[in-house]
Amino acid sequence: MIYLDHNATTPVDERVAAAMEPYFERFFGNPSALYRWGRVVRDAVEQARAQVAALVNADPAQVVFTSGGTEANNLALQGWSRAHPERALAVSAVEHPSVLETAKALQRHGTEVHWLAVDEHGVVRRDSLTAFLKRHPDGLVSCMIANNETGVLQPVRRLAGLAREYGAVFHTDAVQAAGRLPLDFDDLEVQMMSLSAHKLYGPKGVGALVLDRRLVVEPLLHGGGQEQGLRGGTENVAGIVGFGKAAELARAEWRERSARLAELRARLEAGLRRLPGVTLFAAGAERLPNTVQFGIEGIDGEMLVMALDRFQIAVSSGSACSSGGGEPSHVLLAMGIDEARAKTAVRISLGKDNTETDVDRFLAALERIVADFGITR
Ligand X SMILES: Cc1ncc(COP(=O)(O)O)c(C=O)c1O
Stretch that binds ligand X, among 32-40, 55-63, 65-73, 291-299 (CB under 6 A): 65-73
For residue 295, list its beta bridge partners. Answer: 279, 345
* Of residues 301-340, those binding ligand X (CB under 6 A): 321
3 state SS of 315: coil
- Indicate the residue type of 174: A
Stretch that binds ligand X, among 68-76, 115-123, 178-186, 296-304 (CB under 6 A): 68-76
Q: Look at strands 113-116 and 140-142 and give their pairing.
A: unpaired
Q: Write the burial class of residue 54 (CB in 10 Å: 0-12 exposed, 13-18 middle, 19+ buried).
A: middle
Residue 115 · residue 89 · CB < 8 Å: no
Q: In which order are the strands placed within the sheet that holds 169-173?
A: 63-66, 207-211, 192-196, 169-173, 140-142, 89-92, 113-116
347 binds ligand X (CB under 6 A): no
* Of residues 141-160, those binding ligand X (CB under 6 A): 144, 148
* Of residues 96-135, those binding ligand X (CB under 6 A): 96, 98
The minimum distance between CB 90 and ligand X, in angstroms, equals 17
3 state SS of 24: coil
Closer residue to ligand X (CB): 49 or 96: 96
Phi-psi region of 61 (alpha: psi -120 to 50; beta: other; left: phi over 0): alpha
The yes-or-no answer on residue 143 being catalytic is: no
Of these residues, 215, 275, 303, 321, which one is catalytic?
A: 321
The minimum distance between CB 97 and ligand X, in angstroms, equals 8
The total of other beta-carbon atoms located within 10 Å of residue 309's CB is 12
The minimum distance between CB 52 and ligand X, in angstroms, equals 14
Stretch that binds ligand X, among 51-59, 69-77, 183-191, 276-284 (CB under 6 A): 69-77
291 binds ligand X (CB under 6 A): no
Is the torsion defined by CA of 245, 58, 234, 179 positive or negative?
negative
* Of residues 166-195, those binding ligand X (CB under 6 A): 173, 175-176
- Indicate the residue type of 98: S
Stretch that binds ligand X, among 63-71, 112-120, 263-271, 363-371 (CB under 6 A): 63-71
207 binds ligand X (CB under 6 A): yes
By CB under 6 A, name the binding residues for ligand X.
68-70, 73, 96, 98, 144, 148, 173, 175-176, 196, 198, 207, 321
Catalytic residues: 321
